A and B are shown apart, each in its own frame.
Chain A
Amino acid sequence: MSAARLAERLIRLASRGLPEADRSVRYREWNAEAIAILNDPGTRARIRRKIRALLFAADHIRGARRMARQAHVPRLGWRRYGYLAYPLAAYGIAYFGTHWMPVIHLIRLALFELVLVAGMLCQIVRERRYWLAGSKEEFEKARGTRTALLGMWWLMLWIQLTYRLGLNTLAGSVTYAISGALLMPLLERRIFPAPGITPDTRT
């Protein structure tokens, strides 16, 4: 990946956290500066220009957080932990799935509950109009995420069927699938979309 592209990605990432009204303007401003730094005739060494542009872009992640705080933009904060629920649940099943010791069984159940609660909470804090799938383009864009989630679910189901873990775990898997479906819009990053995509363009 070229330095210009990486800088652009970093700036895009940083501007995602900004207030919606500010997002595209800042993205345009910072990107223009990064391009100017990369082509700065005052700095002869190309590597130096690249490093400067990347540092410039990377530090905007910190700056954008500060700007968002100044503008009182709600941050993802604890909602980010919703993401953690997935690997935790997968780990819990894959690792403890074959054991039936009461404590381990309880941990596994707690993980399922965590997934369910996290998924639901993530939905509650979102605006209702973003709960269901967005435009066709957005649906296409989220194909990777969707495939990964489905893959994880199938893996879990496969473990359960292979080791014949019974109805209890099967019910857990269904719970996981439901919470996954609920959490899907959050994973598609429609709370803080990339610059240029505003809620008004969503269908």
Chain B
Amino acid sequence: MKLTGALERVLAVFLADPAESRYGYDLMRAAKLPSGTLYPMLARLEEEGLVESRWEPAGQPGGRPPRRYYQLTGEGIRVARLELAHAAQATTADRGGPLPRTAPGHAPGFAS
């Protein structure tokens, strides 16, 4: 699984409460992703067995059609935690790396 920024956000939203099922629009708002990005991602995660979905029972108030809810599977929780931990580790390593050397008085972004 290639961890992109968008996928990272979706996994983080899911992991905020792994027991909670979420519908598409709710995930879109929480992860701040458009529908054209989120749904293909959910389809891929479901195909890989990391996410499972279920339909809301029929007969919703106001005659609203049933929604589809998504939730991380056990394997999904494990993989998501691992991937996010790797991503966090990589970010820390990047930040802790050597700073670029600059001559005194020639700090980038400042005119001497």
Interface residues of A (CB under 8 A from B): 22, 26, 28-33, 35-37, 39, 55-57, 59-63, 66-67, 70
Contact = CB atoms under 8 A, between A and B. Distances in A.
Interface stretch (B7-15, B64-72, B74-82, B96-104): B64-72
A59 B38 CA distance: 10
Interface in B43-70: 43-44, 47, 62, 64-68
A32 B35 contact: no
A63 B35 contact: yes
Given A33-B24, A70-B40, A70-B43, A60 B64 contact: no
A138 B47 CA distance: 34
A59 B68 contact: no
Given A33-B23, A56-B25, A66 B64 contact: no
Contacts of A62: 36
Contact of B64 (A30, A32, A59): A32
A61 B39 CA distance: 11
12 contacts: A26-B39, A29-B67, A32-B67, A33-B25, A33-B35, A36-B25, A37-B25, A39-B64, A57-B35, A61-B36, A67-B39, A67-B40
Nearest to B66: A32
Contacts of A66: 36, 40
A30 B40 CA distance: 12
Contacts of B89: none
Interface residues of B, number: 20
Interface string B4-44: 00000000000000000001110010000011111110011
B74 to A, nearest CB: 24
A124 B68 CA distance: 39
A56 B66 CA distance: 17
A59 B36 contact: yes
B35 to A, nearest CB: 4
Nearest to A31: B65
A91 B40 CA distance: 41
Given A39-B62, A59-B34, A70-B44, A32 B39 contact: no
Given A37-B25, A67-B43, A70-B44, A32 B65 contact: yes
Given A67-B43, A70-B43, A70-B44, A33 B36 contact: no
A29 B35 CA distance: 12
A189 to B, nearest CB: 22
Contacts of B66: 32
Given A67-B43, A70-B44, A36 B36 contact: no
A55 B66 CA distance: 21
